[in-house]
Amino acid sequence: MTLFESLLLLLLAAIVLLQVARHLSLPYPSMLALAGVGVALLPGAPDFPIDPRTALPLFIAPALMDAAFDFPVTTARRFWIPLVIFALGGVLITALLVAWVGWAFAGLPIAAALVLGAIVAPPDAAAATAILSGMAIPRATDAILRGESLFNDAAALLLFSAALTAQMSGGLTAAQVGGFALAAPGGVLFGMVAAWLMPYMSRLVTGALDSNLLQFVNTFLVWIIAEHLHVSPVLAVVALAMTLASRTARPTSPRMRVQSYAVWNVVVFVLNVLAFLLMGLQARRIIGDMSGEHLRHALAFTGLVIAIVVVVRLVVALGFNRAVAWYRRRSGREEPATWRQATLAGWCGMRGLVTLATAFILPADFPQRDTVVLAAFGVVLATLVVQGLTLAPMIRLLGLDHRAVTERELVAVRRGLARAALHRLEDEASEEGARLAALFRIEVDALDEPPRGDAHQRHCALSLAAIAAQRAELERCRLEFQLSDDDYNFLLEQLDWRELTVLPPEATRIGTA
């Protein structure tokens, strides 16, 4: 079986698993990773090695770009303290405790143990975004979890690089320490400069598809150039995305924005599907050369590392939450988040491709490399599968299912948008203004409390019937060769846009699983 045929079969299996995950309301990353392990253990299963130098920019850079573009700078400023605690403090505490366990129980040298700690410390941006996208939790908790996943990779990768350099070369020179210290601010600065230059490049590209291609090329280029400049590629991409988003808050081309959103949604989703499948498929490669007593000791050590990773995050989340709550109560102010939200944040610490890829980067002569790689794989699998699959029940158990609240908030905003349009049309005395205002009054009536949606439902039903008649007429014109294929597709797209405006909101969302 060729590589292409094997990959095609895996994607077909992924599609089936996505339907199962959707039907059971389970996060698809957990299902795909678990299925990948199952496939890897089958006799004759194809081997799909991960090249870490390619996997990180290919799978992580687009996920970071997509997530960071949707994370406003104002939100980062609002939650900067918890973001620093989770993205920096949580990573460092986890790395240090895992390093101590690696030194005390596995006999790793201090620098090598710290490498292991840095590998397993950061929760994954792609995993967090993919799993949280199908859930409705408190806005503050959601923002902190998504924001944390944008920055913790940078802290962990810098610590990983420094510890690995110290282990392989016997120490760090002053120049190397200075380079690592400048990597984070250098990455941010480089990303901001790239974001300033990118609009000038975009002006040279006119087509929407060409612009989409340029966006992906620029994302990969920023990551790769940042690596060659020895600055943080993670922070470079995050700074690029957040700077671009702040500069394009009012897009000049709605067409470009809609198409870009759809393209990025699909590409990032496909890359996530492949990444989570590939992570599971590494099971045979990791344990294939281990057997007997060595494997049992390595598995016991892996279990200990998993326990440390999970418990430390819960302790950090609850400890920070209770400390803030005590301070706010002492100041006579309301608590910003409950212990239930902190518990959820502590449990939502899924590791992913960054952890596995950095483990595979380790040189062949790294001390106890097979044990370290197995520990990294165990942490990824345990957090993705166990925490991922139990996340939805935990949200319900903690009373943090905010789907009803989110729906009410969405209705309130939509009502405000419709009333803003009515306010703008108040002084319009023309017949066209009156007709347009009547449509917005129908929408406001449908969104009022209690709703008065009879007229809105009739309007939507009649609109859909009229669009169906237009589609039939368009098909007749095509069959009778009254227009070209390009013109037919253009008019068909116009009818699609018109239909989307009268469909219910749940029918117009682009979902994953």
Tens digit of each residue's pLDDT (9 = 90 or more) over 128-165 = 667 766 667 888 888 888 888 888 888 888 999 999 99
Contact 317, 338 (CB under 8 A): no
Do you find a cis peptide bond into 49, omega within 30 degrees of 0? no
Residue 302 to residue 417: CA distance in whole angstroms: 53
Higher pLDDT, 457 or 302: 302
User: What does the longest C-alpha to C-alpha distance in the chain come to?
Assistant: 86
Res 396 pLDDT > 50: yes
Residue 112 to residue 117: CA distance in whole angstroms: 9
Q: How far is CA 283 from the centre of its chain?
A: 24
pLDDT value of position 513? 46
Res 20 pLDDT > 80: yes
Res 283 pLDDT > 90: no
Poorest-pLDDT segment among 195-209, 210-224, 264-278, 328-342: 195-209
Res 21 pLDDT > 90: no
Most confident among 402-416, 440-454, 466-480 (mean pLDDT) = 466-480
* 252 band by pLDDT with thresholds 50, 70 and 90: low
Q: What is the mean pLDDT of residues 295-322?
A: 94
* Portion of the chain with pLDDT greater than 70, in percent: 94
* Measured CA distances, 321 to 15, 325, 336, 338, 397 (Å): 40, 6, 9, 7, 19
For tokens 């292991």, name the residue: 116
- List alpha helices for 70-138, DSSP H: 73-78, 80-84, 91-105, 110-120, 125-132
Q: What is the mean pLDDT of residues 171-198?
A: 90
Tens digit of each residue's pLDDT (9 = 90 or more) over 50-106 = 787 788 888 889 988 988 888 888 888 889 999 999 989 999 999 999 999 999 999
Angle at 103 between CA 100 and CA 109, to 5 degrees: 125
Contact 142, 67 (CB under 8 A): no
Contact 221, 257 (CB under 8 A): no
Nearest to 381 by CA among 363, 345, 355: 355
